[in-house]
């Protein structure tokens, strides 16, 4: 694991805090990221980063490698090299990828005033910005299927967003349409098939899945019931990333509107709550 550690250290040194939306934080011995900053971006412990770089850790999992590749803004070729160094099989083109290209990550970093998240082809949340966590609830508190938007909609308790019956129907049809398309592209993805099988426990899902209906995502107005800043309406758009199956879900408000004021308030109150 020594070569893996040296490579991770070199990649960490080349990424500046500004590139990932972090403050420089005073004097630095090197221009790159500190271990604490990489740990924060990848959702790992500082001690684990230290052990990885010193070659004292067991082979990291594919999930850990993917998180590191995302945090370090690796290219596809560099990500594959990282997997090889760790003794893992390179990500298969036949399975849904959770890799976020550097350009998409920059969008997340730079649109810090708009609550947004990035989802994979099965609608599992991969990454998000602090404003999204403040608006919708912190996804880091959820694990496994609880990070999947479709699963939570059909099989979990409600969230902070209110939908009209028509919006709910359109949302469900669009999501089921996406799952069908993903299954056609990734027929050998066992986790995707397992997700669909679990969703069949919901009669509402089965009803739509078994019908030849097709739906698409449209811009829509959502009503948010937030425990700190109250109720307000916000616009939601789903953006597709060319060349892969990622979806960016972005929430915005018209300038000088009540929702814009609520978001400004949320940027203070909500983010303070997250840092406690």
Considering the domain architecture, whether residues 72 and 112 belong to the same structural domain is answered as no
Considering the domain architecture, whether residues 81 and 106 belong to the same structural domain is answered as no
Considering the domain architecture, whether residues 40 and 146 belong to the same structural domain is answered as no
Q: 275 falls in which pLDDT band (50, 70, 90)?
A: very low
Residue 91 included in any domain: no
Q: Which of 125, 153, 155 is nearest to 141 (CA)?
A: 125
Cβ proximity of 30 and 111 under 8 Å: no
What's the pLDDT tens digit per position in 81-129?
Answer: 888 888 876 666 678 888 888 788 888 888 888 999 999 999 999 989 8
Provide the number of structural domains found in the chain. Answer: 2
Residue 97 included in any domain: no
- Residue 29 phi/psi, 5-degree rounding, is -75, -25
Considering the domain architecture, whether residues 109 and 61 belong to the same structural domain is answered as no
What are the Cα distances from residue 220, in Å, to 9, 99, 200, 238, 276?
44, 27, 27, 10, 33
CATH number at residue 133: 3.30.450.180
- Per-residue confidence (pLDDT) for residue 67, from 0 to 100: 85
d(CA 67, CA 55): 18
Considering the domain architecture, whether residues 108 and 40 belong to the same structural domain is answered as no
Considering the domain architecture, whether residues 140 and 75 belong to the same structural domain is answered as no
Residue 192 included in any domain: yes
Q: What is the pTM of this model?
A: 0.74
Considering the domain architecture, whether residues 215 and 252 belong to the same structural domain is answered as yes
**Cβ–Cβ contacts within 10 Å for residue 115, how many?**
27
- Per-residue confidence (pLDDT) for residue 102, from 0 to 100: 78
Q: 143 falls in which pLDDT band (50, 70, 90)?
A: confident
- Per-residue confidence (pLDDT) for residue 43, from 0 to 100: 82
Structural domain span for residue 34: 2-85
Q: 274 falls in which pLDDT band (50, 70, 90)?
A: very low
**Cβ–Cβ contacts within 10 Å for residue 4, how many?**
21
What's the pLDDT tens digit per position in 155-204?
Answer: 987 788 998 999 999 999 999 999 999 998 888 899 999 999 999 999 99
């Amino acid at each position: 694991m020594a070569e893996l550690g040296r490579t991770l250290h070199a990649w960490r040194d080349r990424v500046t805090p500004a590139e990932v939306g972090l403050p420089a934080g005073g004097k630095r011995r090197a221009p790159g990221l500190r271990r604490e900053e990489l740990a924060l971006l990848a959702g790992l412990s500082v001690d684990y980063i230290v052990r990885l770089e010193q070659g004292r850790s067991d082979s990291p999992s594919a999930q850990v490698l993917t998180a590191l590749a995302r945090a370090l803004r690796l290219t596809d070729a560099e990500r594959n090299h990282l997997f090889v160094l760790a003794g893992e099989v390179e990500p298969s083109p036949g399975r849904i990828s959770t890799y976020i290209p550097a350009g998409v990550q920059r969008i997340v970093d730079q649109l810090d005033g708009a609550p947004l998240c990035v989802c994979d082809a099965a609608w599992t949340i991969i990454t998000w910005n602090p404003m999204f966590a403040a608006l919708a609830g912190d996804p880091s508190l959820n694990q496994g299927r609880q990070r999947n938007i479709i699963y939570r909609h059909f099989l979990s308790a409600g969230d902070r967003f209110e939908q009209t019956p028509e919006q709910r129907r359109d949302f469900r049809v669009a999501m089921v349409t996406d799952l069908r398309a993903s299954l056609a592209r990734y027929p050998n993805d066992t986790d995707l098939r397992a997700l669909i099988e679990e969703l069949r426990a919901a009669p509402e899902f089965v009803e739509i899945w078994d019908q030849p209906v097709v739906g698409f995502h449209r811009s829509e107005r959502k009503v948010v019931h937030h425990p700190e800043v109250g109720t307000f309406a916000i616009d939601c758009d789903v953006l597709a990333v060319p060349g892969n199956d990622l979806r960016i879900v972005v929430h915005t408000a018209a300038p000088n509107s009540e929702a814009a004021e609520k978001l400004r308030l949320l940027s203070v109150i909500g983010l303070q709550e997250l840092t406690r």
